Structure 1
Amino acid sequence: MPHRSIQRSQRLSEVRYEIRGELARRARELESQGRKLIKLNIGNPGAFGFRAPEHLQAAINARLEQSDPYCHQQGLEESRLAVAALHIRRGVCEVNPQRVFMGNGVSELIDIALRALLNPGDEVLLPSPDYPLWSAATILNSGTPVYYDCRPENDFLPDPEQIEASITPHTRALVIINPNNPTGASYPRALLEQLVRIAERHQLLLMADEIYDGILYDEASFQPLAPLTGELPCLSFGGLSKVHRACGYRVGWAVLSGEATRLGDYQHALDLLGALRLCANVPGQWAVPAAINGPNTIDALTQPGGRLYETRRAVIEACAHSPFLDLVMPAGALYAFPGVDSSRLPGFDDHHFALDLLEQEGVLIVPGSSFNVPYRNHFRVTLLPEAEQMREVFHRIERALQRCAPAASARHVA
């Protein structure tokens, strides 16, 4: 009897995660051959020399001996109290520790939140560009992503009218990523209020991915969504990975707000799914009260002279001096999303460019099309390297773009 190979789930045929996909695999092959690469594909502060603040490390060390047992499926009471208190200070109504769910990073909680919500064929409104985990989790939980445009000509902010026109009887949720990954857009209060009114009219669950809430530049400000939603159901996501540079701790949280009778049994569904995975990582949760109530350690990095600010400045200046690149300046988060001027490089393809940049210049970026956009002339870089290294990166990017120019001219003539 011939052997039959094990086939993967058909759902995975629609799932992409190029941030750690084909190009990242090729990067590992090149590194195994001795190539030195500059990898800008992942917003992973620890890989660039950042450390979690010392008061977070001390909080874990002080309680490590208490970390052997499982904790409650929703998380340690101390951590949930701290998260609930943070949201109350922000002006969120109807929040208590019973509505806080701790997870192994926000990624796990996104999956749980969508699994608790969706039936086959249900639709989720997602930004385009999006963080591709949202699309993947929607598909893997039997839902259908429906994208609303956040166009560069509108500073990567959405059009509320387009969002409302995209709603059907199958739409269950509206996802907002603010500050945004990959674009760095920071959503103004007036825009968020419009989106809340749309969700209210159509009885949608609002899902606010706010993992970058404290990473802001220049005069940008962060407006949390839940204080604007009142009795409307809203699920807000945050965690330690970015603002506190503690990705490896795998600590995130989701806070459910809104009037109790409007939540139906969704809160119980979240609790059930949390119980099925037993609990979130216990040692990392001890750092949550210290992170929320301790000193601010991110502003020194995002203000003039700070490392993130100066690297962002290097990207802005490099794009301004390039004949090929345009940039909507990121107001927040850890990324820039430059666009290539298609009139100068007709036929430009972001994936082909990223592969050439990796092979010829030793720089790993993420093609913009990986973020579920209909165009192929953008790419994402993380702002985590030192400014001097980022200037070198864009010198290599410019060299690669110059190589594209003759090919583009030949295609244009043909």
Structure 2
Amino acid sequence: MTKPSRTLLTLAAIAAVPAAWGLDVTDADLKLGLTMQLQLRAEASLAEDNAGTKYSPAEGAGDPDTADFYVRRARIGFTGMYKEKFKFAAVLNADNTDKTTSADASRGVKPHLLFVGTSFPCMLSDSIKHYVQFGLDDAAYNGSQNIFSSRELLMPASRATGNLMKNRGVGVKWMVTAPNVQGWIDIQNNSGDTSETTADTRDEGEGLWYSARLHLSPDGDWKIAKATESFLGASGKGVLVAIDGAFNDTDSSATASTDVSTMGYGLEVLGHFDAVTALAEFRAQEQSGNGAHKDSVVYLLQAGYALPWKDTVLEPALRISYIDLNKNDNNETDAFSANDYGASGTQLELGVNWYLNKHNNKIQAGWTNWDGEAAGKAKADIVRVQWQLAF
């Protein structure tokens, strides 16, 4: 019998997608898996800017569009292994489809993950493993953007610590895994790489993005092997402490000769005790360039309590955030923003999750109340309902 080629196996995988929501294809050399994530959102809001003018958080503009439907996440692609040694991913996204407009301009598709990596043992100990990767991926810095998968959010909205440094670029990643420790180091193109529209008159060149992250979790009963925003009420307990730092060096702005450098650092403490999953997070950054200096900080606390219900799980959730994007200015007047989270101010979120099949199939509802930092009228109340299907 003739063995099917890898090309035919790949084509068969693509053709079978409508009939198979989870799909893996394997031959002697190649293991290929289909991955998909859809988050479909309905959002209604009542918001004002600091002048008391109606404001649309979904669009980030002064348009009183009080209700919207859009695709928050749309990601599909392949992940796999070649020769049982080389890991790869090729994933596309069409995130935020129809968020700001229903025109075709909002329905673009772009690369999300494109990388190749390989693992190798440590010569010092069999219990230590190394992994090196090259390509397009999230930097390990800022767990709200990567380490805590967007599939496993406790609320429909992302954490407000996403306000501060984050990067998804092309570069090199190194990871080491030991019994109680995981560590990452990234070197990537910086977040505004070559964004200048006119010539730069200085001799100084543009820099790179550098970041590192460390996970510490005790062995035994209290070990957390993988970070998540909800353990879905699974019995057990654990604690994980993460510390990280990043430096975005001499990053171009859209105006020539006005580069900015940013240094950031953070601390996250994740706890799990049977039905409860809780997270405390602190994140700060210092930005300098063009004769200016700005310090920013975000504090966040969240918790969920998961309750079994028939063959599903219900989880009420709470999140509190304090956001200060410019500590040098105690009277910031910015409106909410176009993000899942607000600008400088205080933010309260209440939600409930209905897990039909763990994080793979869940419905989430959440209410966000945000008050701006200034003494004016900047405020927002947002209700989001979101259905996720992922595999």
TM-score category of the 2 structures, normalised to the smaller one? under 0.3
TM-score by length of 2: 0.27
Q: More helix per residue: 1 or 2?
A: 1
TM-score by length of 1: 0.26
Select the structure with the greater relative contact order (CA < 8 A; seq sep ≥ 6): 1
Q: More strand per residue: 1 or 2?
A: 2
